[in-house]
Amino acid sequence: MNGIQTLSLLSLIFGIVILANPAILAYLIAALFIIIGINGLAFGSRLSKIWKVRVKS
């Protein structure tokens, strides 16, 4: 229950901050997409390396 309360409090603060400055939301969304993109590229390169190793063997 304590973890849920902490998460709820953070969400509330987060919501208030976004209401106060909507530009923050745009930056956060952009950051999220950038992180997903970087992770996707990293995973893709790892996957291709694994695939090459499998093809060679």
Whole-prediction pTM value?
A: 0.45
Q: Structural domain of residue 30, as residue ranges?
A: 22-57
pLDDT at 3: 82
Assess if residue 5 is contained within a domain. Answer: no
Are 42 and 48 in contact, with CB atoms under 8 Å apart?
no
Mean pLDDT along residues 22-49:
84
pLDDT at 57: 57
Assess if residue 12 is contained within a domain. Answer: no
Assess if residue 29 is contained within a domain. Answer: yes
**Total domains, the chain:** 1
pLDDT at 33: 92
Assess if residue 8 is contained within a domain. Answer: no
pLDDT at 56: 66
DSSP line for 4-54? HHHHHHHHHHHHHHHHH-HHHHHHHHHHHHHHHHHHHHHHHHHHHHHHHHH
pLDDT, tens digit (0-9, with 9 covering 90-100), for 39-53: 888 887 777 777 677
